[in-house]
Structures are given as structure tokens and as C-alpha cells.
């Protein structure tokens, strides 16, 4: 939400002659300070086939803009240190002085919507990373938050990955548009993750921990090992 911009971020935006947004497809874009010239990289998203190409092109353009005398103000949704591949790539460029202005990420907004504490062992992963895997890199004993679940196609791949570790009926909580006036929380079982009609660019999914803790699974594993014949 525009009201969640920090005072420092607002001041930087307000004092800028122009701002380049990673995308204008976000609620905060309509609440930027008046009088600034706003550009976005949305056209790159529309003409590119994959995110790797998108991010590479954005990074190259931001670097070129940053080499100007006036530099560049490059703005991303949430916090630049959370889930922003372009920012991570830009930070590797030691030839440019970069100042990072932090903000409120989707993590705080989601956990507030769920009334949960992020320090309660929360794991945070990216939906695209899960979609590309066969087995989730998550401990089922602690809660997890999957960010950027932006389409039903990605949700379908994420579902298949998660079902290799969680029961098909494991309860999930989808958080839509966290931190905005349109915020909503949707409860559904894992096997219906990709059936939600409300999945969009501002959707994240929360996985509560399994009720059966790993100590039970460890005991079962130890029993199996004790029944095995000794190795000679």
C-alpha cells in the first residue's frame, strides 16, 4: 500500500526528477509523489519469453541510467532486499555506487494478515524456485511462506512439488494483496492450490507446519534401521 512507504523512501521519491519502476503493475504505483516523471520496465516483461531475459535487460538498462551524471532512482515493490533478482544483480556491480533504501516487504504484510510471527521458525521461498524442483527445500516442522505465486500455472507446479512432502489435504492459506485495501486470506487444501480463481501477481501461500513432528518420523526411521541386517 502507498501508505506503507517509509518516510525515507517517500523523501527520496519526492526529491527525484524521475523514477524508474521495475513494474507499474502494483498498487503503490498510483500513490507516488506528484510531479515526478515515472518510467517502468513493463514493456520488457511483455516482449520477453522468460524472467532471466527480463531481469538481465532491466539490470543492463538500470546500469546505463546509473552511469549518467544524475544517476538513477530505481524503485521496486516492497523491500529491495527481499525477492528482487535485479537488485541482487545490481549489487554485484562494484563500479557503481549504490544506496539501498529499505521498505516494508510482503513478508511483514502477509504475517500481519495471518496474525503470525515471522520469528516462529518461518521459512521463506520463491514460488518459481519451488516450481522448478521435485522436492521442496523446506522442513515440514516449521511454517513456510511461498512468495510470488503469480499465476495458476506456477501454482500447479508448486502444488506438485509440495505434495512430495506434505499430505494432499494439508491446509494452506493464500494471502492476496497483503497490506492493501484489497487484502484477503483464502483457506484451501494443498490439492486445490491451483484451483483458486483469485491467484495473481500479489498472491503468497502460507504453509502451517505438519502436526506430526519429525521426532515421530525419526523414531520410525530408527526402527527401520534397527531391523536391517548389520553390515559385515
Residue pLDDT, tens place only, 99-117:
999 999 999 999 999 999 9
pLDDT at site 225: 52
Grid coordinates in use for 133?
Answer: 524442483
3-state helix, strand, coil in the chain (%, to 5): 40, 15, 45
C-alpha cell at 116: 503470525
Average pLDDT per block of 10 residues along the chain, 232 residues long = 94 96 93 94 92 94 96 96 95 93 95 95 94 92 95 96 96 96 96 96 96 56 52 46
Cα 117 → chain centroid: 17
pTM value?
0.84
Q: Is the dihedral of CA 62, 65, 70, 73 positive or negative?
A: negative
Look at residue 232 in the predicted model and tell me its pLDDT: 42
Side-by-side strand order, sheet with 18-21: 37-40, 18-21, 74-75
Amino acid at each position: 500500500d502507498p501508505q506503507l512507504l517509509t518516510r525515507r523512501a517517500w523523501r527520496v521519491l519526492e526529491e527525484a526528477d524521475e523514477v524508474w519502476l521495475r513494474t507499474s503493475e502494483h498498487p503503490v504505483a498510483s500513490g507516488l509523489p506528484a510531479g515526478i516523471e515515472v518510467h517502468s520496465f513493463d514493456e520488457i516483461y511483455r516482449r520477453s519469453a522468460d524472467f532471466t531475459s527480463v531481469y538481465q535487460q532491466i539490470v543492463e538498462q538500470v546500469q546505463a541510467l546509473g552511469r549518467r551524471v544524475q544517476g538513477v532512482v530505481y524503485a521496486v515493490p516492497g523491500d529491495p532486499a527481499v525477492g528482487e533478482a535485479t537488485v541482487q544483480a545490481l549489487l554485484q556491480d562494484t563500479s557503481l555506487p549504490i544506496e539501498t533504501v529499505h521498505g516494508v516487504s510482503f513478508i511483514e504484510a502477509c504475517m500481519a494478515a495471518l496474525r503470525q510471527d515471522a520469528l516462529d521458525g518461518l521459512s521463506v521461498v520463491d514460488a518459481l524456485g519451488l516450481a522448478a524442483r521435485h522436492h521442496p527445500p523446506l522442513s515440514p516442522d516449521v511454517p513456510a511462506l511461498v512468495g510470488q505465486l503469480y499465476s495458476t500455472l506456477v501454482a500447479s507446479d508448486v502444488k506438485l512439488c509440495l505434495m512430495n512432502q506434505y499430505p494432499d489435504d494439508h491446509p494452506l492459506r493464500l494471502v492476496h494483496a497483503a497490506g492493501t485495501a484489497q487484502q484477503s486470506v483464502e483457506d484451501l487444501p494443498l490439492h486445490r492450490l491451483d484451483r483458486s480463481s483469485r491467484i495473481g501477481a500479489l498472491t503468497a501461500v502460507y504453509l502451517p507446519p505438519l502436526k506430526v513432528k519429525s521426532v515421530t518420523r525419526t523414531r520410525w526411521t530408527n526402527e527401520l534401521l534397527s531391523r536391517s541386517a548389520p553390515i559385515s
